[in-house]
């Protein structure tokens, strides 16, 4: 059942992300053509500011899910009810805090843009308040989503998200094409998100009727103490996550301008789309990993980690290499040559994509095991290094410098915190094993990237933009995968997945 749930969650999440990616490109294209690149940059900027406010959530959802694994396994509905009520009240406090801090930031909006929002015709304060309202409204309704995560039924949420995505995108396109009004677009976004969360709320009550019961006991003091410790640890992680990822948009807007932020957001839309698919695949197994860790078997856990790492590396190296080969030709046919960023910027985007992706396997074990308190100080160091490095390098390297600062800071967690606080305690192995393992993966990836780009440069003497795109796409699909196949076809992990896929199709054939 654990494997079936993981596959079902991953498959549905991946399909939902593919659908979201396709629709997202359609909406982004119309958005840029109807409102312009300055609005695109403004959207990215205010999204980052609201992300900053989301640190108030403190990782409550992750902690609640972790603490539900054991009561779910024991069918202890009373503890689950108590956890969900506690979760609800925590989110009411979070909503109040986000509202208060969000309003405090209002007078300082002019500080975040180099050109003081020239090119934006609507009132930026109204736009910002709509972003804030969208964030706050989600806290009152969305917490019941996590009951499905804890029960390994993420695929149901993916189904809800897919339906909402189709409907909302159709509404967005109609609004953009008929009104060219950003405020109407944001209002529709808030209303449709609320409708989806209300639907999930009622469905959760239907699937788990005990959530409607009013006789709810007080949460056990031992769970509360454990919860507080986890939240305290995750506070550092959440603050660091914002500073590492969120401040990039603020620095770009402040020192380079909204237009450059808009161009950068187009590249990030593409890379994040693939990153989202990777997250969908991996996050589908998080609850199953949590269930596995309750068995306290280090060998089984390490075997699962190796398989997960192998799949993650294959996806990350293939996608990152493909992005580097295909991105520029795609941007030209999508938005035109004026929307291109330099190859140096693209290279750092691709490297960030790879490093962030390769953190996912141990990140899954971290979430499943609730390891946040032990390494709470490391993300603060990461955040400080990121902010200072990006702030300094932007003056020398421009946009590439901002992203390079993120890459440098990310390596702190990747190379130090993960082996010391997750790898060794979870699997009982030496830190050095993890470090050398990741160095070997990185060298292999860089070789695949270099060979793919060399083949691309050798074959891309094509004048027509569409022909150049399709040739580059063909190279991106074939070259990295052929190299990966040649390198790893004898590895045990490859043989495991090969056998699994063969068995799966044999069963399908027998049933038909």
Question: Which positions ≥6 away from 76 have C-beta within 8 Å?
Answer: 70
**235 pLDDT above the threshold of 80:** no
**308 pLDDT above the threshold of 90:** no
Q: Mean pLDDT across the stretch 396-400?
A: 93
Q: Is residue 383 part of a domain?
A: yes
Do 307 and 182 reside in the same domain of the chain? Answer: no
Q: Is residue 479 part of a domain?
A: yes
Question: Which positions ≥6 away from 343 have C-beta within 8 Å?
Answer: 328
Do 317 and 223 reside in the same domain of the chain? Answer: no
Distance CA 101, CA 116 (A): 22
- Which of 156, 159, 165, 158 has the alpha carbon at shortest distance from 20? 165
- SS3 string, 279-302, reads HHHHHCCHHHHHHHHCCCCHHHHH
Q: Is residue 264 part of a domain?
A: no
467-509 pLDDT tens trace: 899 999 999 999 999 999 999 989 988 888 787 677 666 665 6
What are the φ/ψ torsions at residue 243 (nearest 5 degrees)? Answer: -65, -40
Distance CA 469, CA 325 (A): 9
Do 340 and 484 reside in the same domain of the chain? Answer: yes
Do 372 and 223 reside in the same domain of the chain? Answer: no
Task: State the residue range of the domain holding 502.
Answer: 295-512
Q: Is residue 240 part of a domain?
A: no
Distance CA 390, CA 407 (A): 10
Which helix (H) or strand (E) element contains residue 304?
helix 298-335
Q: Give the domain-ending residue among 230, 262, 278.
A: 230
Do 371 and 448 reside in the same domain of the chain? Answer: yes
Do 162 and 303 reside in the same domain of the chain? Answer: no
CA-CA distances (angstroms) from residue 486 to 31, 219, 308, 448, 483?
Answer: 43, 55, 20, 11, 5
Look up residue 244 and give its two tokens: 């590492």
Place of tokens 């603060």: 380
Do 421 and 509 reside in the same domain of the chain? Answer: yes
CA-CA distances (angstroms) from residue 271 to 274, 350, 351?
Answer: 5, 8, 11
The confidence band for 366, taking pLDDT boundaries of 50, 70 and 90, is confident
Do 217 and 338 reside in the same domain of the chain? Answer: no
**459 pLDDT above the threshold of 90:** no
Q: Mutual orientation of helices 2-35 and 298-335 as an angle, nearest 10°? A: 20
242-281 pLDDT tens trace: 666 678 888 999 899 888 999 999 999 899 888 877 766 6
Look up residue 448 and give its two tokens: 């695949």
Q: Give the domain-ending residue among 197, 215, 230.
A: 230
Lowest-pLDDT range of 74-78, 138-142, 346-350, 405-409: 138-142
Do 307 and 220 reside in the same domain of the chain? Answer: no
Query: 240-243: long-range contacts at Cβ-Cβ below 8 A with a sequence spacing of 24 or more?
Result: 240/379, 240/380, 240/382, 240/383, 241/55, 241/379, 242/51, 242/52, 242/54, 242/55, 242/383, 243/383, 243/384, 243/386, 243/387
Q: Is residue 359 part of a domain?
A: yes
Question: Which positions ≥6 away from 245 have C-beta within 8 Å?
Answer: 51, 406
| Number of structural domains the chain divides into | 2
Do 194 and 299 reside in the same domain of the chain? Answer: no
Q: Is residue 273 part of a domain?
A: no
Count of other CB atoms within 10 angstroms of residue 492: 11
**What's the pTM value of the predicted model, to 2 decimals?**
0.80
CA-CA distances (angstroms) from residue 461 to 187, 344, 347?
Answer: 47, 21, 21
**227 pLDDT above the threshold of 60:** yes
Do 308 and 222 reside in the same domain of the chain? Answer: no
- Which of 243, 255, 252, 355 has the alpha carbon at shortest distance from 44? 252
Q: Using alpha carbons only, what angle is made at residue 361 by residues 358 and 362, rounded to the nearest 5 degrees?
A: 100
Place of tokens 């059942």: 1
178-226 pLDDT tens trace: 999 999 999 999 999 999 989 988 998 898 888 888 888 887 787 778 7
Q: Give the domain-ending residue among 230, 247, 281.
A: 230
Q: Is residue 282 part of a domain?
A: no
Q: Mean pLDDT across the stretch 174-179?
A: 95
**126 pLDDT above the threshold of 90:** yes
Do 314 and 187 reside in the same domain of the chain? Answer: no
3-state secondary structure of 180: coil
Q: Is residue 112 part of a domain?
A: yes
């Amino acid at each position: 059942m654990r494997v079936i749930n993981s596959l079902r969650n991953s498959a549905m999440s991946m399909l939902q992300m593919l659908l979201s990616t396709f629709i997202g490109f359609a909406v982004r294209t119309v958005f840029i053509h109807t409102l312009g690149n300055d609005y695109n940059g403004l959207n990215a900027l205010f999204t980052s500011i609201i992300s900053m406010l989301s640190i108030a959530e403190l990782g409550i959802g992750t902690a609640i899910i972790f603490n539900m694994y054991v009561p779910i396994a024991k069918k202890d509905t009373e503890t689950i009810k108590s956890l969900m009520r506690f979760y609800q009240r925590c989110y009411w406090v979070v909503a109040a805090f986000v509202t208060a801090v969000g309003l405090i930031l209002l007078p300082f909006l002019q500080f975040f843009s180099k050109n003081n929002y020239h090119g934006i015709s609507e009132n930026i304060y109204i736009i910002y308040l709509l972003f804030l309202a969208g964030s706050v409204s989600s806290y009152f309704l969305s917490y019941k989503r996590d009951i499905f995560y804890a029960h390994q039924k993420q695929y149901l949420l993916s189904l809800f998200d897919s339906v909402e995505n189709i409907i909302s995108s159709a509404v967005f396109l109609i609004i953009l094409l008929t009104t060219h009004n950003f405020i109407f677009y944001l209002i529709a976004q808030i209303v449709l998100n609320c409708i989806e969360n209300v639907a999930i709320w009622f469905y959760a009550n239907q699937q788990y009727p005990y959530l409607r019961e009013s006789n709810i006991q007080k949460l056990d003091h031992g769970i509360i103490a454990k919860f507080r410790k986890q939240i305290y640890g995750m506070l550092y992680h959440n603050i660091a996550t914002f500073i590492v990822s969120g401040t990039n948009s603020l620095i770009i807007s402040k020192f380079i301008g909204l237009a450059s932020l808009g161009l950068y957001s187009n590249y990030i839309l593409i890379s994040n789309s693939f990153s989202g698919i990777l997250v969908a695949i991996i996050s589908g197994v998080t609850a199953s990993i949590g269930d596995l860790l309750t068995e306290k078997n280090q060998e089984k856990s390490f075997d699962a980690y190796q398989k997960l790492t192998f799949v993650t590396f294959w996806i990350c190296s293939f996608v990152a290499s493909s992005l580097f080969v295909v991105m520029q030709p795609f941007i030209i046919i999508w938005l035109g040559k004026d929307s291109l960023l330099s190859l140096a910027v693209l290279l750092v985007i691709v490297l960030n994509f790879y490093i962030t992706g390769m953190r996912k396997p141990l990140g899954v074990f971290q979430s499943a095991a609730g390891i946040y308190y032990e390494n709470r100080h490391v993300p603060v160091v990461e955040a400080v290094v990121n902010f200072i490095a990006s702030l300094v390098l932007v003056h020398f390297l421009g946009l590439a410098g901002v992203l390079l600062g993120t890459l440098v800071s990310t390596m702190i967690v990747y190379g130090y915190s993960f082996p010391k606080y997750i790898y060794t305690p979870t699997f009982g192995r030496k830190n050095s094993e993890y470090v050398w393992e990741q160095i070997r993966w990185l060298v292999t990836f860089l070789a695949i990237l270099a060979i793919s780009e060399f083949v691309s440069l050798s074959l891309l003497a094509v004048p027509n933009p569409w022909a150049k795109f399709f040739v580059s796409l063909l190279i991106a699909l074939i070259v990295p995968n052929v190299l990966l196949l040649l390198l790893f076809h004898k590895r045990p992990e490859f043989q495991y997945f090969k056998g699994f896929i063969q068995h799966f199709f044999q069963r399908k054939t027998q049933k038909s």
